[in-house]
Amino acid sequence: MITVTDPDHLLAHAAAGYQSSCDAEVVAEAAELVEVEQARVRLLDRLLATTGRLGISVAGLPVIDGSVVDVGADLIVISGAGEQVWALRSAAVIAISGLAVGLRKESSGPVIPELTWPRYLRQLAGSEVRVHARDGVMYVGQLAGVGADFFDLILSGAGLTSRVSTIALTAVIAVQTRG
């Protein structure tokens, strides 16, 4: 316990104690605000803020290194090595290294990206693709047509002659193309 006999010292001591108490309250409130703001951040937001290269671990595939090209609600498009472009199902992503810590600057763009699997795949119509499915099977062929929840692939490879396979979008983990 401090014994203060001078009223000026008593007032200074009380003011210091009050300031210390106020500082602690401000720090606690700031920490709470940071926690609330961080709870609002989506993986999608951090992906959009990332400008460097990433390493993305996806179920059933080797780590994919590249840069973010576009992001949708359930889709991440990555430009990888050797002009490869990967479209990855967000739900199949296990871990990401190199992700931006902060968020992108506010823009007038949409809050929810408009890129969807059907929209992305329609851009690739006629292209040669490799489709990596949930069951570990890789389908190689030419993208023929895209419906609301499926696409047709004209399979290519040894012994195949224009065989069409219809693939459900829910079965797709990744689609790989040459850029």
My answer on whether 21 and 89 are in the same domain is: no
Question: Please, what is the Cα angle at 63 between 62 and 67, to 5 degrees?
Answer: 135
**Same-domain status, 100 and 27:** no
63 plus 20 within the same structural domain: no
Helix or strand run (H / E) with residue 98: none
Question: In this structure, what DSSP letter does residue 122 have?
Answer: H
164 & 101 share domain: yes
One domain, residues 53 and 13: no
Does 92 share its domain with 120? yes
Summary count for the chain: helices (H), strands (E): 3, 10
Task: Indicate the pairing of strand 53-58 with strand 172-178.
Answer: unpaired
Number of domains observed in the structure of the chain: 2
CATH code for the domain in which residue 137 is found: 2.30.30.600
First to last CA, the chain: 74
Please check whether residues 8 and 82 belong to one and the same domain: no
pTM over 0.85: no
How many angstroms separate the CA atoms of 136 and 139, rounded? 10
Please list the pLDDT of the chain residue by residue as tens digits (179 residues): 555 566 666 666 666 666 666 677 777 776 666 566 667 778 888 888 888 899 999 988 999 999 999 998 899 999 988 889 999 999 999 999 999 886 655 554 444 558 999 999 999 999 999 999 999 999 999 999 999 999 999 998 766 667 899 999 999 999 999 76
Task: Note down the domain range covering 167.
Answer: 43-178
Q: Are 171 and 133 spatial neighbours (Cβ–Cβ below 8 Å)?
A: yes
* Strand duo 164-168 + 172-178: pairing: unpaired
* C-alpha distances in Å from residue 16, one per residue of 9, 26, 28: 10, 15, 18
Tell me, yes or no, whether 6 and 53 share the same domain.
Answer: no
Report the 10 Å Cβ neighbour count for 89.
21
